[in-house]
Amino acid sequence: MLDRACPGWQVSRVKVKTVSFEELQRDKRKARLRDERRLARGEVTPEQLQEENSLIPASARITIPDFCETMERYYGK
Q: Is the pLDDT of residue 2 over 50?
A: no
Are the beta carbons of 2 and 16 closer than 8 angstroms? yes
| Dihedral pair phi/psi, residue 6, rounded to 5° | -110, 145
pLDDT value at 8 more than 60: no
Give me the phi and psi of 54, to 5 degrees please: -80, 140
If you ran DSSP here, which 8-state letter would residue 64 be given? -
For 19-72, write each residue's pLDDT tens digit: 999 999 999 999 999 999 999 999 999 999 999 999 888 888 888 778 788 888
pTM check: above 0.85: no
> Please, which residues bridge with residue 9 across strands?
6
Residue 35 · residue 49 · CB < 8 Å = yes
